[in-house]
A and B are shown apart, each in its own frame.
Chain A
């Protein structure tokens, strides 16, 4: 149980275009979803936290107009990278929590590799 999927697993886009990444909780309802970014040989950096039906909370230094997050339902959150540039190339990982007693546990998706050319 507690499976999280991401789509696509990898994407290549041209500079200036936008790309959407989906994060789905397959067998549970996710009250909270998190988006992370991971650079090679670096740790996961939290970008934003989203709760279903409300605006995402962005971490300091993350441009909210560039990284649009929509948590439209209890099983789906999307991250849209707008006007992508090569420096946005990275590995994006989402996670989700059930909001139950063990709310500290996050279930992670497999990640999406974004390459901007």
Chain B
């Protein structure tokens, strides 16, 4: 079945450092890929997405490129802020029956210090 593997956290960085959170996936078809973010005490929010190979999703300074050859969707940000501290989930969707089910990675906690 489908699966998502992402690096374990916590990832601890200083403000303005470069961020990479690795995510690889296994899927039988051609899934769409997502990054969700969960701030403390809040629900998951869609951060960015990519629906086909070589697509780059971007939002709030975060980027991720859908790499079919390496089955990866790594999340990057050039300069993190304290406000980026949250848990980040990589996920893929399996389209069908008019809606998609999501398969999530375990989540990676990011802690950014001033």
Option from A41, A42, A46, A93 in Cβ contact (under 8 Å) with B44: A93
Residue tally, chain A, CB below 8 Å to B = 23
Bound together, the chains give a CA A114 to CA B104 distance in angstroms of 21
**B106 neighbours in A (Cβ, 8 Å):** 41-43
Q: How far is the CA of A105 from the CA of B45 in the complex (A)?
A: 10
Total A-B pairs, Cβ < 8 A:
54
Across the interface, which residues of B come within 8 angstroms of A117, CB to CB?
none
Q: Are B43 and A111 neighbours in the complex by a CB distance under 8 Å?
A: yes
* Chain B CB within 8 A of A44 CB: yes
Q: Does A99 contact B (CB under 8 A)?
A: yes
Q: What residue of chain A has the Cβ atom nearest to residue B3's Cβ? A: A43
Chain B's closest residue to A102 (CB) is B49
Min C-beta distance of A51 to chain B, whole Å: 8
Given contacts A43-B105, A44-B89, A44-B104, contact A103 B42 (CB under 8 A): no
Q: Tell me the chain A residues, 59-117 only, with Cβ under 8 Å from chain B.
A: 93, 95, 97, 99, 103-106, 108-111
Q: Write out the residue numbers on chain A whose beta carbons fall within 8 Å of the beta carbon of B4.
A: 43
Are A104 and B32 closer than 8 Å at their CB atoms? yes
A49 contacts the other chain (Cβ, under 8 Å)?
yes
Task: Assess the B105–A104 pair: CB atoms within 8 A.
Answer: no
Interface residues of A, Cβ cutoff 8 Å to B: 4, 6, 31-32, 34, 41-44, 46, 49, 93, 95, 97, 99, 103-106, 108-111
Q: What are 13 A-B residue pairs whose CB atoms fall within 8 Å in the complex?
A: A31-B99, A34-B101, A41-B106, A44-B89, A44-B104, A46-B103, A49-B99, A99-B99, A103-B98, A104-B93, A108-B44, A109-B43, A110-B42
Name 6 extra pairs, CB < 8 A, besides A93-B43, A108-B44.
Answer: A44-B102, A46-B102, A49-B101, A97-B100, A104-B95, A106-B100
Closest 10 CB pairs of A and B: A108-B44, A108-B43, A104-B100, A43-B104, A110-B43, A43-B106, A44-B104, A32-B99, A104-B93, A103-B99
B binding-site residues for A, Cβ under 8 Å: 4, 32, 36, 41-46, 49, 89, 93, 95, 98-107
